[in-house]
Structure 1
């Protein structure tokens, strides 16, 4: 993902963007139905039949092509939606908050990633709801409503790209910025366009590295995750025997600057204190960058925010950051550590999330445990600059199950190719597992008090 972080900063609106992976190319596009007028557009409030995924509906048609184009456009026939953090020329980028929308003018430019998608044949159908100021992970938004999780409607959809996730899960679009796709073939097509990679390259041998300690932390049994993935790759060529490691201990040993943020405790199992420290660095960096970019706006506008978001925004604004260089040094060391572990052929396998999604409107009652445990796994790709792809693996106790595959910084195409190669075998194995007798639970019992 060597180009990813720099490019995504050019594609998002003024807000800083923290996402697992963002890729784009440059280009220019004029909206088919939009002139240079500066009139502020009012959001079209969409009814709940779309699961509350959309904030605004519009059609941005693909860029006009020559009368006889040389070949079919790579994204022709695909539809997509965009998170309300990307610029659309002539529209106000709302950043998930009505006060932000009220105090900003319509954009006079198009996000580069949007331009690239339209130039390559995809059609954009609207903007989606997101957590306010991209400062949450639940997907709840007190102003625009919380998108309905189409798979488990009584539970939160997750964030901050909740509307984008719901738009894809409910099959309203083929993919959505916030980076969701209906299947790996769509993800592969979009990725190849945005990364500007060759369509065909020699297949490289692959080696999966399972973070056993993180699956131990997960509340989903390994039969539905580690076992499924292991059995699936047995049927495929080009895969080395999988490797199993205690990833938290590896991080503790190879990211020395984390010691300044860790707990001086020796009784935490599985070295998980290292990931607690890593996630605290991630949150501190996000807060520091938010303050750097938006402190003046927050103090001048005094925006209306949901309770949880308000707490985090105020904490970010009021904190003095005296060790910023060390925060960024942790990221540099984490990137090198993951590269050293995975080398040119490795893919880290982790649980996407370790807890089932909480019930709607229950977040005021939950402890910080859910947030901290979620950030522990989210911080791996975020702090290393790696690319992460989440793949669904059926259900457990009524909730969807998934695993995430993480590549080292710069190996986006390698990961996209691997996920496409594995997907059919993974789904076949999920079907087999769903008809099998349960295996003994080998996940153990990680003490929640560690969090």
Structure 2
């Protein structure tokens, strides 16, 4: 375990030996693991005192973590998460909040807050997180990292604390593209849909309009920088009604979150933190009709996006509307930003298609990411293209 922890990213559990292979494609690299994933010798707290109290010491390791250990990565600790993984802010009322190494006056984002901070702070080379509503993608953008939400169901969530079953995915963070791709090679296997080396690019104009004007201008300039390497993307309008997608996501996530944690919350009445308390209260009220409407909207959008991307298309869009909010922001301001961010982040969640966020820019000294969404099952080739695209964005136009 890493005890030198200036960014408060690790849960201070008693140290336990975690075996890893001395050789393999990830040998020499260090690994941090979000405290939703079981690791043999450690409890799993899910950012909740109640879950931690009931956990006990785990006797088995989550398969995705085990695969990374067997590939040579060395475990250095479990990382903090937002309470029950139900936030995008990286603030935990019970266990504290990690510091964003890339912008200390701004939030880390969540719920994979400690995992982002560990990698951005160079305390780990790789960190495992989970992504339901953006919990890898948003922190990665805020910390200047590579991050992925894989195709839903492609990677195992066995021995991982759930939030919303039909939306949950594992994911990971790295600082550089080469390591990012190496992790993908270990975990993903062969793509069902393999993208061409230079896919057909689609620029989601309506999604760029969801960003604040300053961020939109910066990200459009980034896209322009990549043109000599990857060509001109076709401008498209992706969504007919973004608010309908937002509510579909909220209803589905809420109903499934209550199915995961509602019985525990009602039995023990734990003092839930700000934001989390309100989200679970909302989740309890989602009706059968709302859930069914959300499912119908999801089905229609998934089919629309599948037609748009085909087998060779990649969609370009902002990861989140702007750089990370300030740590000093009040809860209503954070909730407003979260709701704006969900209008971008819900697209991959509802479709189940893979999304990679890449570090491409800064605004006011804080990182800002750009995202690429590919067809279902294209994760490995999407990563390869994303890494190449990120290199292309660094080329300055004379």
TM-score range (shorter-chain normalised) is 0.7 to 0.9
In 1, Cα distance between equivalents of 2:338 and 2:246? 10
Matches within 5 A, 1:105-144: 105-144=56-95
Alignment RMSD: 2.4
Kindly state the Cα deviation for residue 222 of structure 1 after the two structures are TM-superposed: 4.3
Unmatched runs of 5 consecutive residues or more in structure 2 = 130-171
Contact preservation (8 Å) 1:79, 1:122: yes
Contact preservation (8 Å) 2:26, 2:73: yes
In 2, Cα distance between equivalents of 1:202 and 1:296? 43
String of CA shifts for 1:364-404, please: whole Å, max 9, x gaps.
Answer: 24275312211000101111111111111221122212111
Matches within 5 A, 1:288-303: 288-303=255-270
**Structure 2 counterpart of 1:380:** 347
State the SS of the aligned residue for 2:356: strand
Kindly state the Cα deviation for residue 109 of structure 1 after the two structures are TM-superposed: 2.0
State the SS of the aligned residue for 2:76: strand
Give TM-score, length-normalised by structure 1. 0.73
CA gap of 1:80–1:222, structure 2 versus 1, over 3 A, is same
1:246 to 221, 237, 243: 237
Is 1:169 matched up with 2:120?
A: yes
**Structure 1 counterpart of 2:102:** 151
**Structure 1 counterpart of 2:181:** 188
**Structure 2 counterpart of 1:27:** none
Contact preservation (8 Å) 1:207, 1:241: no
Contact preservation (8 Å) 2:20, 2:69: yes
**Structure 1 counterpart of 2:41:** 90
In 2, Cα distance between equivalents of 1:173 and 1:351? 26
In 1, Cα distance between equivalents of 2:71 and 2:302? 32
Matches within 5 A, 1:43-442: 49-56=5-12, 58=15, 61-64=18-21, 73-178=24-129, 179-197=172-190, 203-219=196-212, 220-234=214-228, 236=229, 239-248=230-239, 252=240, 274-366=241-333, 368-429=335-396
CA gap of 1:84–1:221, structure 2 versus 1, over 3 A, is closer
State the SS of the aligned residue for 1:109: coil
String of CA shifts for 1:317-357, please: whole Å, max 9, x gaps.
Answer: 24433343332233232222111111122111111111332
CA gap of 1:346–1:329, structure 2 versus 1, over 3 A, is same
Unmatched runs of 5 consecutive residues or more in structure 1 = 1-43, 66-71, 253-273, 437-451
State the SS of the aligned residue for 1:54: coil
CA gap of 1:366–1:175, structure 2 versus 1, over 3 A, is same
Kindly state the Cα deviation for residue 427 of structure 1 after the two structures are TM-superposed: 2.2
- Name which one, 1 or 2, has greater alpha-carbon Rg: 1
Kindly state the Cα deviation for residue 62 of structure 1 after the two structures are TM-superposed: 5.0
Contact preservation (8 Å) 2:127, 2:173: yes
In 2, Cα distance between equivalents of 1:223 and 1:314? 38
Contact preservation (8 Å) 1:46, 1:52: no
String of CA shifts for 1:48-89, please: whole Å, max 9, x gaps.
Answer: x43011114647555457xxxxxx611111111011100112
Matches within 5 A, 1:21-32: none
CA gap of 1:160–1:119, structure 2 versus 1, over 3 A, is same
CA gap of 1:222–1:137, structure 2 versus 1, over 3 A, is closer
CA gap of 1:174–1:338, structure 2 versus 1, over 3 A, is same
